[in-house]
């Protein structure tokens, strides 16, 4: 199994744990750090909708809790035609992505498109103090 296949399968598996009783839109995310560690997250909705957390946010939180700070590659999976990261998550990924971060957007059958961070969030807001 390739590294990308492994990341896809991890994202697909964690998607099954999503808590999405309001939208019924399950999303999974799996990221790999430069040292090869994989972290996952799924969307967690709330009766107060803005409190909800995206799958990408859950994966980033797990990575930070695990002591890592950089994302080399990520797979996001949903059952939409193109379940690409929302605007807020694009900024979240910009904060922790390596300069070569690739985000693969998948449906249940496999990766559909792959994006660089510059494609997802051109002219991103950034401060010099990040990634310390
Ligand atoms: Zn999001």
pLDDT digits 0-9 by tens, 72-113: 999 999 998 899 999 999 999 999 999 999 999 999 999 999
Place of tokens 């909708």: 49
CB within 8 Å of 43: residues ≥ 6 apart: 18, 19, 20, 25, 26, 27, 52, 53, 54, 55, 58
**pLDDT reading at 132 higher than 90:** no
Distance CA 2, CA 115 (A): 19
Q: Is residue 119 annotated as part of the catalytic site, yes or no?
A: no
* Residue 19 is assigned to a ligand binding site: no
pTM here is 0.94
Place of tokens 């401060």: 127
Catalytic residue among 6, 9, 56, 128: 56
**pLDDT reading at 47 higher than 90:** yes
* Residue 44 is assigned to a ligand binding site: yes
* Residue 83 is assigned to a ligand binding site: no
- Could you state, in order of their start, the residue ranges of all structural domains in the chain? 3-120
Domain 3-120 listed as CATH 3.40.140.10: yes
128 pLDDT band (50/70/90 cuts)? confident
130 pLDDT band (50/70/90 cuts)? low
């Amino acid at each position: 199994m390739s590294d990308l296949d492994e990341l896809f399968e991890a994202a697909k598996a964690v998607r099954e744990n999503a808590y999405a009783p309001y939208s019924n839109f399950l999303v999974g995310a799996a990221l790999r750090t430069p040292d090869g560690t994989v972290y996952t997250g799924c969307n967690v909705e709330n009766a107060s909708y803005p409190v909800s957390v995206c799958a990408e946010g859950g994966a980033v939180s797990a990575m930070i809790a695990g002591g890592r700070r950089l994302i080399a590659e990520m797979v996001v999976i949903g059952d939409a035609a193109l379940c690409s990261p929302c605007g807020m998550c694009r900024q979240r990924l910009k904060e922790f992505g390596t300069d070569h971060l690739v985000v693969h957007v998948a449906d249940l059958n496999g990766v559909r498109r792959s994006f660089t961070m510059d494609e997802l969030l051109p002219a991103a807001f950034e401060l010099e103090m990040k990634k310390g």
